[in-house]
């Protein structure tokens, strides 16, 4: 497992994150597996990312902390549901693996990838764009503190520079 995945996982453990909601992404696969094997966490695979926004609102109502793992394209699916987060002042922690930027081979990923951070900011969500793997732990820690001690809504955007180029050969 890559070191940065360990760093992120440890932050989630330290903050007592329990519900781990996700739509799978290659870049998140190690973290998803790691959380799935950890007895203190409940993995919730989703059919679409906005379910995760609603799920984690329900989790917080019931006293659980959560995290939503998704790809940049999924952020677009969440936009209206962010109204729930904002209107109710719900804590929301998101870890977003980026597509549609450096090295992207699929032009269909570019429109969302190039606008992910802009759209999150438009929804009043704090963003941490990280393109160095040794910074992911500290950025996730900063985001988690803001979220759970806030409450706030924050997203860590994990650059394609860290994840590497996706090809059909992988």
Partner 1 sequence: MDLDRSNYYSLRRREVVKILLDQRDSGMLIVAGLGAPTWDVTAAGDEPLNFPLWGAMGGAVSIGLGLAIAQPTRRILVITGDGEMLMGLGSLATVSIQSPSNLAILVLDNERYGETGMQATHTAGNVDLAAVARATGFSESHNIADKKTFRSLLPQIQNGEGPLFFNVKVRAENLPLVLPPKDGAFLKDRFRVALFGSDAVR
Which chain residues interact with partner 1 by CB under 8 A?
Answer: 18-19, 42, 44-48, 50-64, 66, 80-81, 83-84, 87-90
CB of 58 vs partner 1, minimal distance in Å: 3
Q: Which residue is associated with the tokens 């269909």?
A: 108
**Of 167, 66, 155, 86, nearest in space to 116 by CA:** 155
CB-based contact 67:34 (threshold 8 Å)? no
Q: Residue 79 CB, nearest distance to partner 1 (Å)?
A: 12
Residue 95 pairs in a beta bridge with 69, 156
What gap in Å lies between CA 163 and CA 170, rounded to an integer? 12
Q: How far is the CB of 129 from partner 1 (least distance, A)?
A: 27
If the CB atoms of residues 67 and 136 are measured against partner 1, the closer one turns out to be 67
- Nearer to partner 1 (CB atom), residue 91 or residue 113: 91
91/137 with CB nearer partner 1:
91
Q: Which is nearer to partner 1, 62 or 107 (CB)?
A: 62
The secondary structure of 62-99 as a DSSP string is TT-EEEEEEEHHHHHHHTTTHHHHHHTT--EEEEEE--
Q: How far is the CB of 42 from partner 1 (least distance, A)?
A: 6
Minimum CB separation of residue 34 from partner 1 in Å reads: 19
- Of 38 and 129, the one with the shorter C-beta distance to partner 1 is 38
Query: Of 104, 16, 26, 39, whose CA–CA distance to 69 is shortest?
Result: 26
């Amino acid at each position: 497992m890559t070191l940065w995945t360990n760093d992120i996982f440890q932050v989630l453990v330290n903050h007592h994150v329990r519900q781990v909601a996700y739509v799978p992404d290659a870049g998140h696969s190690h973290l998803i597996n790691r959380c799935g094997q950890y007895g203190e966490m409940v993995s919730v695979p989703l059919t679409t990312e906005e379910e995760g926004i609603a799920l984690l609102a329900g989790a917080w109502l019931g006293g659980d902390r959560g995290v939503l793992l998704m790809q940049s394209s999924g952020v677009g699916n969440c936009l209206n549901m962010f109204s729930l987060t904002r209107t109710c002042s719900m804590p929301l922690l998101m870890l977003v693996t980026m597509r549609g930027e450096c090295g992207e081979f699929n032009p269909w990923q570019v429109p969302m990838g190039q606008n992910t951070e802009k759209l999150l900011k438009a929804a009043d969500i704090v963003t941490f764009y990280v393109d160095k793997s040794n910074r992911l732990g500290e950025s996730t820690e900063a985001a988690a503190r803001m979220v759970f001690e806030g409450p706030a809504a924050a997203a860590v955007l994990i650059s394609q520079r860290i994840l590497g180029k996706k090809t059909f050969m992988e």
